Amino acid sequence: MMFPFKKRRKEAAAVPEPVAPPVIFPDVCIFLVERRMGAARRGFLTSLAQRKGFRVMHEYSGVVTHVVSEQNSFADILGWIERKTGRPMQSAEDQESPHILDISWFTDSMSAGKPVPVEARHRLGILGSPVSKDKEALLTVSSYACQRRTPLTHHNAEITDALEILSKAAAFQGSEVRSLAFSRAASVLKSLPLKLRSAEEARNLVWCGGHCQAVIQEILEDGVCHEVEALKVSEQYQCMELLTSIFGVGVRTAERWYKDGVRKLSDLADPNMKLSADQRAGIEHYTDLKQPVTLQEAERMEHLIKDALHRFVPDLKITMTGGFRRGKQQGHDVDFLITHPSEEALSGLLQKAVAWMDSQGLLLYHHTKTRSHVHAHRRSTHMDGHETCYAIFALPSLDSSKCEAEAGVPGARTTRRAVRVDLVVTLYDEYPFALLGWTGSKHFERELRRYSWHEKNLTLNSHGLYDAEKNCSLPATSEEEIFALLGLQYVPPTYRNA
Ligand code: CTP
Ligand code: MN
Ligand code: MN
């Protein structure tokens, strides 16, 4: 957008300015919006800019070329200017219209020591476009998470962290509906290509109801949400968080324990407590397991697993799934899918491999679930009948593997760390479905199933895709094919962090 600068200079001369250092960039005329910035910061930024030779206006007028604001939306600023001037803002073709900018243009210019060219990322929006790009992005969010791309890192983490705590707290209180509502809102915000600047912008967002709106507004205005802060320090929340972080402990068990007065791990040592084998192992290795598994550790785990399993079937296909496949740098466990075109090669494999790994001192705990028949046409889409080993491995530390190699004695002077691992064996023709089902995120999976059922009348699980009406299953040889069968655009794993 170009401006008739000559005309502006003439006009500017007519507006007397308070004493300020000489103007070096007469073509640029800045106005800093005080709203949300505050008078003190505005005063500081004004003198900073003036010292660097910028012209900064104290009142808004027609000579202003760059309107700069902090934490305001495009609509906020337009409304503010229109109220100030008492007339509607002009269209983009109108050369009198100023740039409506985020503080980033200002800070970039201050560090450059000169006005930097206005780029798209500096703009809050463009005048005259019927719907600004930002607004369009906010208005066109799809309703199902599997229709959206959700990267691992996004622009609204403060808000989504708060919504996820509310979701968890609702689940802890036994309210799955409320929990899901907060998860859905958080997931929508994770997919936004921009940072929300005002609650107003979130007003028409899908799945963001009144409660979520209030949370968004509070965080944008105060930086924190008081309901969330109160939850974080509450005994029930902290205790449920602690108990559910134990391997083998779900929300229901934790709830029961909490009601029975369990508050800390040591309370579980009571001989009257009935604990499952999973839970006993989870408590025993608690300190190690609560430490996140790093990508590097996951890759060492992969090496170890492949090495062990390939001893039994050399051309076994082994794929790391779960969070690491979605690009996460750490996780609570490492998930692997194991398959082979020959069903015979898979038969008895897990049992043999697990026994061998156990004999090598690699396993601290394991619990294997045999393959179960999953009813193809049942509405219960959550079923997962693959043969699965839920294990706790003893992963040798990097140094100790070196030690072992040097000493030539396995297990000698090793430091090992407990790591949770899921090993899933799947039949070859079910592999794409298992891969899709075990890559997650959990919310992405839930949404895929909801979409399949409600939009396509198809049942999806990690074994296949079924058409109940025609009483048949729809085969696929890749994840891409499954998305195509569902009439969905393919979403790569790194965009499934819903
Ligand atoms: N899953 C499943 N059946 C189970 C357990 C898990 O289908 N019995 C799926 C989940 O739906 C999820 C994926 O396996 O999509 C991975 O689960 P999990 O390891 O719990 O989560 P991650 O996304 O890998 O997170 P993290 O990095 O913390 O492990
Ligand atoms: Mn995982
Ligand atoms: Mn897992």
Structure token digits, residue 415 = 């430091």
pLDDT of 2 reads 46
Contacts of 274 (CB under 8 A, 6+ apart): none
pLDDT of 495 reads 97
pLDDT of 4 reads 45
Q: Is the CB of 447 under 6 A from ligand 1?
A: no
177 pLDDT more than 90: yes
Domain range annotation of the chain: 29-139, 145-231, 234-284, 288-498
Structure token digits, residue 491 = 């979403």
Nearest atom of ligand 1 to the alpha carbon of 330: 27
CA of 333 to the centre of ligand 2 (A): 5
Is 335 catalytic? The answer is: yes
Reported confidence tier of residue 160, pLDDT bands at 50, 70, 90: very high
Residue scoring higher pLDDT (320 or 382): 320
Contacts of 257 (CB under 8 A, 6+ apart): 243, 268
Exposed / middle / buried, residue 488 (Cβ in 10 Å: 0-12, 13-18, 19+): middle
User: Picking from 2-11, 57-66, 133-142, 438-447, which range would have the lowest pLDDT averaged per residue?
Assistant: 2-11
pLDDT of 203 reads 86
pLDDT of 362 reads 97
pLDDT of 17 reads 52
Predicted structure pTM score: 0.74
Average pLDDT of the chain? Answer: 90
pLDDT of 434 reads 98
Q: Which of 333, 436, 497 to mutate to test the pocket of ligand 1 (most atoms within 8 A of CB)?
A: 333
CA of 147 to the centre of ligand 1 (A): 20
CA of 44 to the centre of ligand 2 (A): 48
**Same fold across 145-231 and 234-284:** yes
pLDDT of 195 reads 93
Q: What is the mean pLDDT of residues 119-137?
A: 71
CA of 294 to the centre of ligand 2 (A): 12
Q: Is the CB of 462 under 6 A from ligand 1?
A: yes
- One-letter identity of residue 388: T
Q: What is the mean pLDDT of residues 446-451?
A: 97
User: Picking from 35-39, 172-176, 288-292, which range would have the lowest pLDDT averaged per residue?
Assistant: 35-39
Q: Is the CB of 445 under 6 A from ligand 1?
A: yes
Q: What is the mean pLDDT of residues 50-73?
A: 92
Nearest atom of ligand 1 to the alpha carbon of 333: 29
pLDDT of 13 reads 47
Exposed / middle / buried, residue 140 (Cβ in 10 Å: 0-12, 13-18, 19+): exposed
Q: What is each CA distance from 378 to 454, 459, 464, in whole angstroms?
A: 15, 8, 12
Residue scoring higher pLDDT (89 or 107): 107
Does the domain at residues 288-498 carry the CATH identifier 3.40.630.30? no
Which amino acid residue places its CA nearest to atom 19 of ligand 1? Answer: 322
Q: Which of 288, 384, 422, 467 is catalytic?
A: 422
Q: What is the mean pLDDT of residues 260-273?
A: 96
Superfamily of domain 145-231: DNA polymerase beta, N-terminal domain-like (1.10.150.110)
Give percent of the chain with pLDDT exceeding 90: 75
Reported confidence tier of residue 6, pLDDT bands at 50, 70, 90: very low
User: Picking from 49-63, 65-79, 287-301, 434-448, which range would have the lowest pLDDT averaged per residue?
Assistant: 65-79
Is 422 catalytic? The answer is: yes
> In the CATH scheme, what architecture does the domain 234-284 have?
Orthogonal Bundle (1.10)
Q: What is the mean pLDDT of residues 419-438?
A: 98
C-alpha 92: how far from chain center = 36
Q: Is the CB of 442 under 6 A from ligand 1?
A: yes
Is 267 catalytic? The answer is: no
pLDDT of 1 reads 46
User: Picking from 60-74, 348-362, 369-383, which range would have the lowest pLDDT averaged per residue?
Assistant: 369-383
Q: What is the mean pLDDT of residues 255-273?
A: 96
Q: Is the CB of 493 under 6 A from ligand 1?
A: no
Reported confidence tier of residue 381, pLDDT bands at 50, 70, 90: low
Give percent of the chain with pLDDT exceeding 70: 89
pLDDT of 7 reads 45
Query: In this structure, which topology does domain 29-139 adopt according to CATH?
Result: Rossmann fold (3.40.50)
Q: Is the CB of 426 under 6 A from ligand 1?
A: no
CA distance 429 to 318: 15
